[in-house]
Structures are given as structure tokens and as C-alpha cells.
Amino acid sequence: MARYSEKVKLKRSDLQVTRMSLGTAPLGGLFASVSDKDGDELLNGALDLGINYFDTAPQYGHGIAEKRVGKALRNAKVPFIIETKVGRVLKHVEGVEPEKWFPDAPRDIVPVYDYSKEGIKRSFEESLERLGLPHIDIVLMHDAEDYIPEAIENAFPVLADLKRQGLIKAIGLGMNYVEPALEIMRETELDIALIAGRYTLLDQIAQEELFPYALEHNIDISMGGVLNSGVLANPVAGATYNYLPASDEIIARAKKICDFLKERNVPLIAAAVQFPMRHPAVTSVVTGPRNASELQTYADSFDFPIPESVWVDLENSGLVERMKV
């Protein structure tokens, strides 16, 4: 069996997810357009490869990603795990400026933060409608760094009630920042956390406090942003790092890692995709292809053989922090 399609049971639920999962921000047109044809081929290709874990959100294309994912999964002939997010609702507003993150997003629909109890309920119900599915397995509180009290006092109780009713099976958060994620984790009973960009070849901050806490409390970690939004795919001038233009320093660091790996016949993208899985806190790596070809590249990279000696040499070189368990 391919490593990317290996399934693992989440610690606090009966859900079994594949080691490689599909993130759908690019499917919603993040930074660049994705055609319906490419979207269909990508999603069906993921199912054909045995990938069963799909992450989406209302924000991604302002509903486009959820609709595309739902269309594919409604016709799926194999079991799947669908994960979406709450914390933003989509509102109709006339005459808004084009969205810089999602240029193809509808001009009259805008995602607005709403961490009220009513907003969380509405977000869940409208996601179900856009997906057109009978269930949502996992719901994450999305980008709650500026809404920590509301996430703890409003969002989590609503999601806990949905879980008690059997309407969802796992509760989590999806964030780019470690400290606010930890604050919410410590005040709630989460099952899973999707952390983007904080345990990569360039940034290992998540292993300082967040991973130990997750291991101690049986919280699964899905690791997104493993290419730090692009620079670890191709560290050249103009690359992006954490969704912004990468600095010369970041590009130079990524280039050093790339050169180090090239000397050992290891592609940078293979090391970037596999690196998070070395830590026992990480259950799944969320990849973000925008077409079937990129998906195959991720799958091949996930299974590319990297000797343990390469990881040891990489840590000893000082280019990457030693793993802390």
C-alpha cells in the first residue's frame, strides 16, 4: 500500500483518515483560477488514489470550494471524511472589490467573521447546504486568533452540542498561529487541530509546546502549509512564504536546504511533504494541489524513499531543528 493512502484512526473518534489529505483552498481559486474541469479531475483523482480526507471551508472561493467538493463526494463510491470550518459566514453585499486571495470568488458574496452562537450554527447549516452532503464529519474553528474568548465560549459549546446529537464526529480548530491555538486547546475539549506552516523545513515552532500538549491530551494534528505557501516548492525570487512575498533571507535558507538535499538525491518537495510526518504528533499532512498533475506530484513525493540518515544529517547540519518528542 502507498504510504500516502495509509489510514490511521483518530485518537478521540472512530474516524480513520489517510496520511495524506486534500486541502481545497487552491480548489477555491487561491491566488489563481481553477477551472471546473481541473477541479473535477483533481477531486476524482484523489478518490482514485485512495485519499479519503478532504478539508474545505466557506472562505475558500467564498463557497466555490465547498460546492466543488460536495459535487465530487456526492458521487463517491468509497467512504470519505469531509472537514469544513466555522467562524465566517458568507453574506451578500453588492458591488464589492475583487478578492485578492480568491480572484474568481463571486463579487456579491463576502466572508464575514461571526463567532456568535447563531453565526456558528448558520455557518454549519449553510456549509451542509453548499456541500449537498448528509453529514459533515469534522468541523474546525477557523482563524480564531482574534476571537479566542468567542471561540471558547460560543463556538465550542455549539459544536459540542452538534457532536452530542451525532451531527458531527469531531471538533477542532484550523489556524496559522501556535499561541492562540494553544490557548483554545487548553480551554476546550478538542479532537483535532489543523496547524498551517508551523512545522516545516523552515519553521518548527509547533514542536515547542503545541505538539507536546497535543500528544498528552490525545489531540490529532493535521499539518497544512508544508510548503510554506510556495517557497519550499521552488525557492527563487518571487516565491511566497506564508502567503506573502518571501524575504531574501527566507529564500536563501530554503535554497540551502534544497542544495543540501540535492547533494543526497532527494527532491526538496519530497522532504517538505514528508518532514511533518516524522513527528508522532502529526496524523495527516494536508496538501494543496490545484490540478490532478500536482496531486500526483504530492503523492509521489509522499512515497519517495528518504533514508533516515538524510534526516539525521539535515538536523546535524543545523538547517533544521532536531525533533523534540
Q: Which of 241, 85, 235, 228 is CA-nearest to residue 170? A: 85
Active site residue 55: yes
Contact at 8 Å (CB) between 272 and 200? Answer: yes
The active-site residue out of 4, 60, 115, 147 is 60
The active-site residue out of 53, 85, 147, 169 is 85
Say how far apart CA 306 and CA 270 lie, in whole Å.
8
The active-site residue out of 55, 114, 143, 191 is 55
Contact at 8 Å (CB) between 291 and 35? Answer: no
Contact at 8 Å (CB) between 71 and 63? Answer: no
**CA 187 vs CA 18, 149, 151, 157, 183: distances in Å:** 28, 10, 10, 11, 7
Active site residue 161: no
**CA 81 vs CA 68, 167, 196, 325: distances in Å:** 15, 14, 19, 28
Sign of the CA dihedral running 122, 30, 68, 272: negative
Alpha-carbon torsion angle 69, 71, 76, 81, nearest 10: 30
Alpha helices in the chain (DSSP H): 36-48, 64-74, 117-131, 148-150, 156-164, 178-187, 210-216, 248-262, 268-274, 292-302, 308-316
Neighbours of 23 (CB within 10 A): 27
Active site residue 77: no
Catalytically active residues are 55, 60, 85
